[in-house]
Amino acid sequence: MTDVHPTFPAPDHDHARCAAEALLRAEQTCLRRGQNFTPIRRQVLQALLGSHRPLGAYEIIEQLAAQIARPAPITVYRALEFLMQNGLVHRIESRNAFLACAHRHDECGNVAFLICERCGSVGELVIGTLAANLKESARLAGFAATMTVIEITGICSNCQTQAQT
């Protein structure tokens, strides 16, 4: 049995509280690791927390440009890399986009992404056991896996409910 826990924002989701908790977690993570949570890193994370949908780097730049001076793309990519390395942001490979992580797993936390084809929201499945099995299968096939990304597209429960009404 895998440790599967799907998560999508509920229709009554308190987004302000969710974003505040994620920022606090980011601050605590950086403090615990002795890393600097710079203003640009915070601003990039806040831009991603503004939605439960993945954003591309240039969408993030446009959001930041509306609030502060337009950052250079390399600055945003470096901030994203830092946030990914610390388990605060995920990259959605198929969309070349990034998503703030709302869960408390480390940077090695294995997740699968559930991508809604209708609303674009993304949920996470914690798949530690499944990922370990895949990595072991790859090893037995003589392959040294370094990264496992699983993306599943479909229709989220919120959109399914809306379609039924």
Binding-site residues for Zn(2+)? 116, 119, 156, 159
For 79, the enclosing helix (H) or strand (E) is helix 73-85
Annotated binding residues, written as ranges, equal: 116, 119, 156, 159
* Mode of pairing for the β-strands spanning 89-92 and 97-100: antiparallel
For 115, the enclosing helix (H) or strand (E) is strand 111-116
Token code pair at residue 74: 């390399």
Q: Output phi, psi for 118, to 5 deg.
A: -90, -55
